[in-house]
Amino acid sequence: MKSIEKMVSVTAMFCETGIMITSIKKAEDGLMEKVIGGLLLRANELTGLVLGKELTAKDGEFFLGAASLDVLSGSEELTVFASLQLALTPLLKERVLIVDELGRLDKKRLVVFLTAIGCLIEQKIIAQFIGAIPGGEVNVEGLEINNI
């Protein structure tokens, strides 16, 4: 009889531990949603405009739409990187977005990207944008671009 009581006690303790773990997981998920949700909201201001897709996060990993970041094209990677950098800029006193390798974007997407950056500057989300494009000048109608 004692062994059955012991089993019941161990089973009850296991169930309580499982409930506690579930509660901790829910609290952790809620906290991550608050932290990551704000980051994604800001990042998607650029990814939505340029790529027509939004960044999401699940189980500590980022996705573009349903795609893992491991399978993105070069232009998608660049846009996601710039978007995440943008998401962190409000935390900085000088909101400067710096992006290298803009040559990874084809001409059409580059124009869309730079136009979106122009909108973000007009909205005072960022103060300045510095981008590196190998091999020449870029002109986008309606944007003042200083080619160096």
The whole-angstrom separation of Cα 108 and Cα 14 is: 58
The whole-angstrom separation of Cα 101 and Cα 78 is: 8
Q: What is the pTM of this model?
A: 0.65
> Which residue in this structure is represented by tokens 């660049």?
78
Grouping H, G, I as helix, E, B as strand and the rest as coil, residue 110 is: helix
pLDDT per position in the chain (148 positions), as tens? 555 555 545 555 555 565 666 666 666 666 666 767 788 888 898 899 899 999 998 877 889 988 988 999 988 999 999 898 888 876 667 788 888 888 888 888 888 888 888 888 888 888 888 888 776 666 666 666 666 5
pLDDT at position 55 is 92
Q: Are strands 55-58 and 61-64 parallel, antiparallel or unpaired?
A: antiparallel
User: Rounded to the nearest 5°, which phi and psi values hold at 128?
Assistant: -155, 150
Buried b (16+ CB within 10 A) or exposed e, 74-105: ebbbbbbbbbbbbbebeeeeebebebeebbbb
